[in-house]
Structure formats: C-alpha cells, structure tokens
Amino acid sequence: MRISLRLLSNSVLIAGFAVIVTTLLIGAMSYTYGKNILEQQAEDRLILVRELKADSVSRYFKGLKNQVITFSHNLTIISAMQQFDAGFSKYANEVSNKGGIKYDNAVIQRYIRSFSNDYAKSNNGIQFDATPYLNLKNESTFALQYNYIFSNPFGIDKESRLDAVNDGTTYSKVHKQFHDQLRQFKELYDFEDIFLVNSAGDIVYTVAKGLDFTTSLENGPYSKTELGAVFREANKLENSKQAVISNFAPYSPSNDDQAAFIAAPIFAENQKIGILIFQLNLNVLNDIMTSSNAWKAVGLGETGEAYLVDSQYYMLTPSRFYLQNSQQYLKDMQKLGMDADTIARIEAKQNNAGWQKVKDVSVSKALADNSGFEIYKDYRNVEVLATFAPIDVLGQTWAIICKIDAKEAFAPIKELAHKFIWNLVVVVLLLMVFAIVVGIGLARQISLPIEKLSTMIQMLANTQDLTQRVDYQANDEIGDMAKALNQLLESFQRTCQETIISTQHVQFAAHKLMSLAEDIDAREATHKYEDNFASVHEKTEAIKEAGDSLEALSDRLQVLSRQFKVFEAENERTSNW
C-alpha cells in the first residue's frame, strides 16, 4: 500500500476511533448519571404518592373509628338498641297474640330462587342455596325474616325501602320510628349496612335486611364469618372509646363480595347493651387508592398504581391493569399460572381485590414492618420501581405499595440514548468526511516530497548519473532525508572517482610487472647468474614494491565494495517508499 493511502486510511481510523470511543464513554457516563437521576426522581415521586395514600387511608379508617364510636354514644342509637332488642325478643308472642302469621312456602321459595339467581350473576353462574341459612329454629327470628325479607314487597336488594310491617308489634313500631333515620345515615356515610347486635349475639336490626338479619353471631350460620369475628372482638371491649375492624373476606349475604366490618360497643349507664357494626363500602377505599381511576393526575403516569395488601397477602384494592383491561389482565394472569377458579372468581366479581394474592419482595418486607424502595418484577412479571411501607389500620398491619413500570420510568433516558446514537452516527459520518478531506491534504503534503525523492532515486538507479542532486530545501524530516541522500551521492561520487584512479594505478602496476617479467626472462637467457645478480635483485625489489601497491589497492577496493553495497541497499529501501 502506498504511503498516501496509508496516511489517509490511518488518519480516518484514528479520528473515527477517537471520536467513537470518546463519545461512547461520555454517553455511557451520561446514561448512567441520567438513569440514576430518573430513578431518584421516580423514587421521590412514588414515596410522595405512597405517603399521601397512606395518610388518606389512615384518616379514612380513623374517621370510621370516630364515627362508629361517636354513634355508639348517640342517644338515638342507644335508644334504638334497647327498643329493638326488647321488641325482638317478644316478636313471636306478639304476632301469635294478634292472630299469628301464616307462612307461605311459595313466598319463601320465590325469595330463595331470587337470591340464588342474584348470587349466580355475581359468581360466574355458581348457585347458592339459602335454605340452610334460614333461622327455622327460632319462631321470633324466622317470623321477622319472613315479614321483612321473604315477603318484602320491594324485592331482593331493595328490602331497606320497607319502613315497617303493619303487624301491630312492638318491633314494627320501633322499626318505623328509627329505620328511616338509620337508612339515611347509612346512605349519607356510604355504608353497605348498619347492624345492631345485642350482647347475646343476635342481629336485632339491619338497614339492608339481608339473610343475616335476626341470626346469631355466636352460633348462627354467619358466626364464623368476619362479621361474627368482629362482633366477638367488640363484645370483649370494656371501653366505650374503643373500636375494632375485621379482615376483608367474602361474605355470602353480600353475594360473597369482599366485605369488612368495624364495630364498637354500645353502653347505657355504663352497662354494655349491644354492639354497633358498620359494613364498609369498599368502593371508598378503592377510590382512595386508585384516585378514582385518575392515576395519571396524581403523578403515576401510564403504568403507575397504588394498592393495599393484607397480612394474608391478598390485594385489598384492585389492580389498575385489571380495571383498564380486564380481559387482557386475566389472560396474562393465566399465562403466569393463576388457577382457573381464581380467574373465574375475578371475572365474575369484575374485581381482583380480595381474590388475588401478591407475595413479592416489597409486600413481604412491608408486612415485616419495613419500608423502602426496590426494583423487581411484580405480580405481572414486569420490572417495576416500587416503594413500600407498612400501614397500621386499627391494630392490623397491611402493606401499601406504590409502583411504576421501569420501562416508563426510564423512558426519557432511553429516548435520549436513541437520539444520542443517531447523533453519534451523524457526527461520525461528518467526521469521516472531514478526516478524508484532511487526510488527503496531509497525505499529499507528505507523500509528494517522498515521491519526488523516490523518482530521483529511481532515475539514479536507471541512469547511474551520480552528478544529479535532489532539489528539496524544506526544513523538515524529508528535507533532512534529501540532504542525507545528496551527501550520500557526493560520497559515492568521490568513491567512484577514487575507484577509477585506483583502477588506473592497478593497470599501471600490472603493466610494469609484465614489463619486468619480460625483461627478466630475456636477461636469464643471455647472461649468467653471477654477473647479473645485482640487476636481478633490483628487479626483484621493484616487483615487491608493485606487489605491495596491488595489495593496498585490493584493500581499498574491498572498502569501496562495501560502500557500494550500503549505497545499493539505501537506494533499494528509498525506492520502496
């Protein structure tokens, strides 16, 4: 490869390599720095949202606690508890004294079918037989169920519209006195239901009049539900300023939808007379955690969400991704190994809260009373940035999780990286063009004098004219080469001249030796040895002198031969530039 091409290619390679390496190093450092900044910003934003959500949840449950305690002290509630309890215990006798009640089995079966159909709609077609839950063993309780539930003229899920049954009983009179006020209170504070339970565990009143109405929470069909559990916990309280909350769990009178209850004891003159229980409307909690489905408005972008997980690892509030696209969500969960029954339940309930377990690193740490920030794969097997913390809800420890997909969180830096790569390509191409132009100029600047030297040396090699000299006077390395070459030519020229002179001396000495040899031969033939001894001696001395001259010339010729070889090598090397 000619030196001009080598200079051009090397200049392009050096320039390109330097720019690419420098740019990549700067880009890598910038990417890492930018990613760290985005991660910190995401963490700060998620922590802020988490703390706001946790504060809202805490205030919500604190408000519920205050409400249930306040109303347990309310004179209306105290009076209602006392009067409902009194009317409840003697309802059967009063009905009998007034002519009794005729139970129409067709009415009961019609209600059971309606309830079963309503249950099936909410549970993926599963049927529910309410017959085992009817309180047939107690005349008073069954009579109340029949009049206020089975024969209720407003039908299923609308039983609360009935102000009272016109049967002349004490219970119905009390019901007419308090029901409208308690119903308004339920609707105003958005509760699912309100229960009044006597100290023995009998549900003497509910607003909604579900199948749990009149049953016993000590030994009845719902005694082992969360309603029964919260009653027993509240019944243990001896302080009128205390309240307890249940876990979240399916509740069959509510079609096995998720339900939670909060309860406080009712005291009258320092004597516990019953328990006030609110069934919570979980939509309120869902709206807090989902910001009423306005995740983006609170800084959670396109993939951020916040949710609660209980101590059993069940999600208490729904996933954003289920709410936004339930069908795709269930397909994804199926691929990730969720069992078919859970998928069917979620699909029927149109909500994954209470049915889906989430047991990942953030939930485990939060339930272990730790808070922090993690990057991991969530329940969708998607990498996320998440903050987590424990939250105390009336003595229960839940986990609050606030997270966003890593892909979205790091999207700006990835977009910057793409732009950086494209800009790098453009810069490298422009630099290559610049390097080529500069390289061509540099190559010509360097190669032209060298080509001139090469041409001169080739001409010397072809013409063997040692009188020629390189005409290059620049004060640089090539100029030094030209001067050195000119000096070499001068030296070689002198050597050649000395060689010519030495050759002439050799020719003269050789001629003289030949003449002396011929003379000796002639004299030996004509004279005697004795007479010519002195003359022979003189000739011999002359021959020796000539021999010495030839030996000296031989040594000089050897030196000249070596000089010729050096010059020939230098000539060959220079010709290859």
Pick the most confident of 150-154, 297-301, 316-320: 316-320
| The pLDDT of residue 571 is above 60 | no
Contact 272/236 with Cβ under 8 angstroms? no
Confidence class of residue 529 from pLDDT cuts 50, 70 and 90? Answer: very low
pTM above threshold 0.85: no
* CATH code, domain carrying 214: 3.30.450.20
d(CA 316, CA 310): 7
Alpha helices in 261-353 (DSSP H): 282-290, 320-324, 326-335, 340-349
Residues 226 and 314 in one domain: no
Between 506 and 36, the more confident residue is 36
Q: Are 539 and 516 in contact (CB under 8 A)?
A: yes
Do residue 394 and residue 504 come from a single domain?
no
Residue 155 pLDDT: 86
Share of the chain above pLDDT 90, in %: 46
Statement to judge: residues 194 and 85 lie in one domain:
yes
Provide the pLDDT for residue 531. 52
Confidence of residue 117 (pLDDT cuts 50, 70, 90): confident
Residue 127 shares a structural domain with residue 265:
yes
Shared domain check, 316 and 369: yes
Residue 221 contacts residue 228 (beta carbons within 8 Å): no
Please give the pLDDT value at position 231: 97
Range among 33-47, 379-393, 482-496 with highest mean pLDDT value: 379-393
pLDDT for 162 beyond 90: yes
pLDDT given for residue 535 in this prediction: 57
* Locus of tokens 């309310």: 74
Which tokens is 144 given?
């109340």
d(CA 483, CA 458): 17
Give the pLDDT of residue 566.
59
Residue closest to 90 by CA, chosen among 152, 173, 180, 210: 173
- The answer to whether residues 52 and 78 belong to one domain is no
Three-class secondary structure of residue 375 per DSSP: strand
Q: Let me know if residue 257 belongs to a domain.
A: yes
> Can you give the pLDDT at residue 89?
85
In a domain, 15, yes or no: no
Of residues 567 and 311, more confidently modeled: 311
- CB 276 within 8 Å of CB 68: yes
- Residue written as tokens 């985005």? 38
**Can you tell me the distance from the alpha carbon of 246 to that of 240, in angstroms, rounded to the nearest whole number?**
18
Q: Write down the residue that tokens 């839950």 correspond to.
A: 133
**Mean pLDDT along residues 56-81:** 95
Position 6 pLDDT exceeds 70 = no
pLDDT band for position 55 (50/70/90)?
very high
Which residue has better confidence, 416 or 232? 232
Q: Would residue 325 count as lying in a domain?
A: yes
Q: Are residues 202 and 104 located together in one domain of the fold?
A: yes
Same domain, 136 and 244: yes
Check pLDDT > 50 for residue 374: yes
**Percent of the chain, pLDDT > 70?**
76
Top pLDDT among 394 and 356 is at 356
Which of these three, 369, 393, 408, is where a domain ends? 408
The residue-averaged pLDDT of 223-232 equals 95
**Residue 163 above 60 pLDDT?**
yes
Q: How many whole angstroms separate alpha carbon 423 and alpha carbon 431? A: 12
Residue type, 386: A
For residue 418, being part of any structural domain is answered with no
Residue 476's H or E segment, with its range, is none
Residue 486: per-residue pLDDT: 77
Residues 82 and 188 grouped into a single domain: yes
CB atoms within 10 A of CB 104: 12
Residue with tokens 């001629």: 511
Query: Does residue 41 belong to any structural domain of this protein?
Result: no
Give the pLDDT score at 554: 61
DSSP string, 498-528: HHHHHHHHHHHHHHHHHHHHHHHHHHHHHS-
Give the residue-averaged pLDDT of 356-381: 95
pLDDT tens-digit series, residues 174-215? 999 999 999 999 999 999 999 999 999 999 999 999 989 999
Nearest to 301 by CA among 219, 218, 412: 412
Q: What is the mean pLDDT of residues 405-418?
A: 78
Looking at 253, 280, 307, the residue that finishes a domain is 280
Residue 367 lies in a domain: yes
CB 318 within 8 A of CB 352: yes
pLDDT at 530 over 60: no
* Mean pLDDT of all residues in 63-67: 94
Q: Which pair of structure tokens corresponds to residue 192? A: 């699912």
More confident residue, 269 or 532: 269
Average pLDDT over residues 437-442: 70
* pLDDT of 490: 78
Region for 23 from its dihedrals, namely left if φ exceeds 0, alpha if ψ lies in -120 to 50, beta otherwise? alpha
Segment 41-53 mean pLDDT? 93
| Residue 534 clears pLDDT 60, i.e. is over it | no
> How many Cβ atoms are within 10 Å of 352's Cβ, its own excluded?
28
Q: Is the pLDDT of residue 348 over 80?
A: yes
**pLDDT tens per residue, range 483-523:** 777 777 777 777 777 777 777 776 777 677 777 767 766 66
Range of the domain at 164: 73-280
What value does the mean pLDDT take over residues 519-529? 60
Kind and range of the H or E run holding 128:
none
As given in the structure block, the two tokens for residue 10 are 């090397």
- 95 Cβ neighbours under 8 A, 6+ residues apart: 101, 143, 167, 169
SS3 309: strand
- Helices of type H across 90-225: 91-97, 105-121, 139-145, 170-188
Domain count, the chain: 3
Rounded Cα distance between 194 and 172, Å, is 18
Q: What's the token pair of residue 342? A: 């859970």
The predicted model gives 13-42 an average pLDDT of: 72
Q: Note the residue count of the chain.
A: 577
Q: Given this model, what pLDDT does residue 237 score?
A: 94
**Per-residue pLDDT at 495:** 77
**DSSP per-residue letters across 149-213:** IIT-TT-TT-GGG----SS--HHHHHHHHHHHHHHHHHHHTT-SEEEEEETTSBEEEESS--TTT
Quote the tokens at residue 444: 């010509």
Q: Give strand pairing partners of 388.
A: 372, 401
Give the pLDDT confidence score for residue 414 in this predicted structure: 66
The answer to whether residues 123 and 219 belong to one domain is: yes
| Residue 52 sits in the same domain as residue 126 | no
Query: Which residues on neighbouring strands pair with residue 264, listed in sequence order?
Result: 276
pLDDT at 251: 93
Judgement on whether residues 53 and 78 belong to the same structural domain of the protein: no
Q: Give the per-residue pLDDT at 58.
A: 94
The packing angle between helices 533-575 and 411-463, to 10°, is 150
Would residue 433 count as lying in a domain? no
Q: What is the average pLDDT across 270-291?
A: 94
pLDDT given for residue 322 in this prediction? 95
62 inside domain: no
